[in-house]
Amino acid sequence: QSVLTQPPSVSGAPGQRVIISCTGSSSNIGAGYNVHWYQQLPGTAPKLLISANTNRPSGVPDRFSGSKSGTSASLAITGLQSEDEADYYCQSYDSSLSAWVFGGGTKLTVL
C-alpha cells in the first residue's frame, strides 16, 4: 500500500463540492514537507493541480483548492463539472524512505 493514503473513490453531482483527503505520517506530511496534487484525465499524463499545499498554477480554475494540517492534506473541488472526472494524486517527500512518494490515487466520478 502507499505511504500516503487516499480514498479509492469519491463522487458528487454536478455543482456539488467534494473533498479528497491525503493522510500521511510524521515522516512525510507531518514532518512539514509540502504536498502537491495532480489531476490525471483518462488516457493522459498527470497534470500539476496544486503546488506547495495551497498554490494553483496559472490556468487552474479557482474551483480547486488545497489545504494541509498536521499529517494530512486535502483537495477540495467546488462546483463539480463533468470534465473534472479524473484520477487525483497527492505527492510529498518521505524522510524515512528518502524518496518522493505518491498517494494511491482517488477516482472522482461526477454523477
Which residues sit at the interface with other proteins, rule CB under 8 A?
2, 33-34, 36, 38, 44-48, 51-52, 57, 89, 91, 93, 97-105
Residue 31 dihedral angles phi and psi, to the nearest 5° = -85, 0
109, 6 contact by CB (below 8 A):
no
- Closer of 9 and 16 to other proteins (Cβ): 9
H/E element, 31: none
C-alpha cell at 13: 453531482
Closest approach of Cβ 102 to other proteins, in Å?
4
In the bound state with other proteins, the residue whose beta carbon lies nearer, of 14 and 99, is 99
95 close to 27: Cβ distance less than 8 angstroms: yes
Q: How far is the CB of 38 from other proteins (least distance, A)?
A: 7
Nearest alpha carbon to residue 68 among 18, 34, 98, 101: 34
**Could you give the CA distance from residue 28 to residue 99 in angstroms, rounded to a whole number?**
10
